[in-house]
Structure 1
Amino acid sequence: MSKTVQAYFQTENDAESAKADLQSLSVQREMVEAIPGDVDLTPVVPVAGSANTGGGTFNFTEVITPKHDREEALSDKRHLTHVLHFSVKEEEYERAVGVIKDHNGHMNRNDLDDE
């Protein structure tokens, strides 16, 4: 069985680089695209800061109430510009998450909790 993954990155280059590194795994239907402006990124957290992947710290209040800059723009998540979609075999899921972490990717917190 396989899992569908969406990982968010700061640049298209970061997403494409992660996609290239994922080729060592059994990934399918991989695609990089720009994140539409109306996507709710509230549940998206850095993989490096998730409780399940170790390392980093996770500040849940910043996900619930993200920081805003002086113009009240959402500053914490606006830096995410591209999303990488792919499917991976369940037995390789943790390795795929490791690749995303290595490329400073972000994922939906619920997907990380499913590990």
Structure 2
Amino acid sequence: MTKHIEAFFETENDAESAKADLQELGIEKELVEPIPEEADVLPIVPVAGSTNVGGAGISYDNIVHPGQDDTGKKHLTHVLHFYLSDEHFDRAIEKIGKHSGHMNEKHL
């Protein structure tokens, strides 16, 4: 079975690098696009802090105000959409975390 995944990144380069890294897992219908200004991306959390992938913890601020600084400026600018078979999900999460990706917490 395949699943649709969306991962959010600070730059287009981060999203494209993650996409290239995920190619070995056989992703399909991959697309990198800018996040619209009006998009509601809550609750997005850093992938590296959501799994056993990285050492960064999830802070309250990361959950309440993901991808924004104190001025409200968005730091998450691009989203990577793709489809992947369930068997490769854990490896995909590792690769997204490696590229400082964020995901909706309900998908983790």
Gaps of 5+ in 1: none
Q: Could you give the per-residue CA deviations for residues 22-66 of structure 1, whole angstroms, max 9, x where no partner exists? A: 11012100000000011112201110111x335321123542366
> C-alpha root-mean-square deviation of aligned residues, in Å?
1.7
What's the secondary structure of 1:107's corresponding residue?
strand
Question: What one-letter code is carried by the residue in structure 1 that aligns with 2:41?
Answer: L
Q: Determine whether 1:16 maps to 2:16.
A: yes
Q: What is the percent sequence identity of the aligned residues?
A: 49
SS in 2 for 1:97: helix
* Aligned AA (1:97): I
In the alignment, the residues of structure 2 paired with residue 36 and residue 103 of structure 1 have an alpha-carbon distance, to the nearest angstrom, of: 21
Match of 2:87 in 1: 91
- Separation (CA, whole Å) in 1 of partners of 2:59 and 2:32: 28
- Bigger shift: 54-63 or 19-28? 54-63
Structure 1 segments (4+ residues) deviating >6 Å: none
Normalising by the residue count of structure 2, what TM-score does the alignment of the two structures yield? 0.88
Are 1:74 and 2:72 matched, yes or no?
A: yes
Aligned to 1:53: 52
Q: Is the 8 A contact 1:47 1:53 kept in 2?
A: no
Distance in 2 separating the partners of 1:65 and 1:19:
25
Unmatched tracts of structure 2, length 5 or more = none
1:92 match: secondary structure: helix
State the one-letter code of the partner of 1:99: K
Aligned pairs, number: 106
In structure 2, the residue corresponding to 1:53 is in which secondary structure?
Answer: coil
Q: Alpha carbons of 1:4 and 1:53: their partners in 2 closer, same or farther (altered >3 Å)?
A: farther
TM-score norm. by structure 1 comes to 0.83
* Contact persistence 1:30–1:85 (CA under 8 A): yes
Check the 8 A contact 1:27/1:88 in 2, yes or no.
yes
